[in-house]
Structure 1
Amino acid sequence: MKQLQHDRKYGELDQVLSAFLGQPADDTPEQPSAALQAYLRHTWHARPWAIGIAEHQLRDYAHNPPGRLKLKLGEYYPLPDVSIGEESVLDWLLVLADHLRASVDSGEVPAPGPPRTHWEWRARFPELAQLLGGWFSQDMSDEFTGHEAALADYLDTTDQHLIARAAGEVAELLALDLEESDYAVGLAELGLEMEPPAPYSPSGWLALLADRLGGPRAEYGPSRKAEYDS
């Protein structure tokens, strides 16, 4: 299936179901699951118009599941495994659609708050996840001499607009004013596999990142990385 065709028919359906990866699909007609609440909390504040699209795509898929021809041609969306029996999954999609419709009809916007699922962390802080997962994974020590060298490489090789976006996401994360243990969990969800450098706590290192990412930028030669490594 071509990408445009996929996005038109299943793009937002895919966003909803991605929110359930690693989360129980325990929605009932009376109560949405934690995963669906996370999708609603993020999407209401980031892309509110997408909720209606998701409701339509979920309902359309449940009423018109792919038949033999679409299966043969590969022109369908393969539902991810959410630990629901094949005989019940279409009814579950309708339960999700009903909750999304009710949310739009009521106009009740979930209060902003800290992310509560892996999907919500990544959806809310995508560039920070790119930075942490790409430069501060368990392979960092094989590629760089330390945290500062890894950050210097990110700054030297990343577009300025993306660096500015990461700076804004760090500022937003610090504004949540979480406990240190919650910051540690959040950083791990975003891809950090190394401890923050001594003597920094998770929030202290985030404050340092905010300063480095948001500071004035200029063109540097090869000596800049050496300066960080020294």
Structure 2
Amino acid sequence: MPLSPLEHDRRYGELDQVMRAYAGQPADDTADKRSQALTAYLRQTWHTRPWALAVAERQLREYAHNPPGRLRLRLGEFYPIPDVGLPKGEIQQWLYCLADHIKNSIEQGEVPATAAPATHWEWHTRFPELGQFLGGWFSQDMPDEFDAHDAAADDYRTSTDPQLVARLVGELHELLALDLDESDYALGIAELGMEVDPPAPYSPSGWLALVADRLGAPRANYGSSADGDAK
């Protein structure tokens, strides 16, 4: 019978996170070299969920030890490894290679240095609410839905839980603290789902700073009088 969500996460949840890190990236890991995708996974996981690394190592190794047959995959009883561009005969050894790299990283305390995101997965994992904001409010349909960029940002603010708005403001400040070149900021916001240009005359970083200030400003409270007594 198909796996329940709980059983899926228990057996393959972190394995799935590793596989997602390879979306659009080559699975070119070797015994002597980690891929860019695995380095991105290690960097993000070390800095946010270090305990999950041991889970990933175990799930990768167990899956490689006991690969599913076609019938069990068709019945939904096993997690299907997505197409990573490798021949089927090489997948098992590749999984062992990933498990070995993760094990070595844990045992040696080898933590990739903090850096700007290097892959699509890493951009969205590091800046999840910014991805929601840019992909949801600044897609190619934005000019048809809003009069201007400010109107789209205001709509996000009024329709989104204040705690998520605060999280977005924090992510904007974190992104600006990376002090990237403007071309890298343009690449980053495109990776996060923005399909329109920042409004003139702003550069990508200038517009991000403007949005952070706009969304971070206190909301006006029109329900209270000047002396604080509700009317």
Q: What code does the residue aligned with 1:184 have? A: A
Give the deviation of 1:70 after TM superposition.
2.6
Partner Cα separation in structure 1 for residue 105 and residue 116 of structure 2: 20
The 5 A counterparts of 1:1-230 are: 1-67=3-69, 70-218=72-220
Give the deviation of 1:208 after TM superposition.
0.4
Partner Cα separation in structure 2 for residue 213 and residue 42 of structure 1: 26
Partner Cα separation in structure 2 for residue 115 and residue 180 of structure 1: 15
Q: What code does the residue aligned with 1:55 have? A: E
- CA, structure 1 residues 151+220, in 2 after alignment: closer, same or farther (shift >3 Å)? farther
Q: Secondary structure at the match of 1:87?
A: helix
Partner Cα separation in structure 2 for residue 193 and residue 211 of structure 1: 22
Partner Cα separation in structure 2 for residue 220 and residue 120 of structure 1: 41
Partner Cα separation in structure 1 for residue 33 and residue 200 of structure 2: 44
Q: Secondary structure at the match of 1:119?
A: helix
Identical amino acids, percent of aligned pairs: 66
- How many residues align? The count is 221
The two structures have a TM-score, normalised by structure 2, of 0.92
Partner Cα separation in structure 1 for residue 161 and residue 222 of structure 2: 14
Structure 1 stretches of at least 4 aligned residues deviating more than 2 Å after TM superposition: 67-73, 217-221
Give the deviation of 1:71 after TM superposition.
2.7
Q: Secondary structure at the match of 2:9?
A: helix
Moved more, 69-78 or 159-168: 69-78
Q: Secondary structure at the match of 1:9?
A: helix
Give CA-to-partner distance per residue, 1:71-120, whole Å, 9 cap, x none.
Answer: 34311111110010111101100000000000000012211010011111
Partner Cα separation in structure 1 for residue 140 and residue 222 of structure 2: 28
Give the deviation of 1:66 after TM superposition.
1.6
Moved more, 63-72 or 110-119: 63-72
- CA, structure 1 residues 199+122, in 2 after alignment: closer, same or farther (shift >3 Å)? same
Q: Secondary structure at the match of 1:88?
A: helix
Give the deviation of 1:2 after TM superposition.
1.1
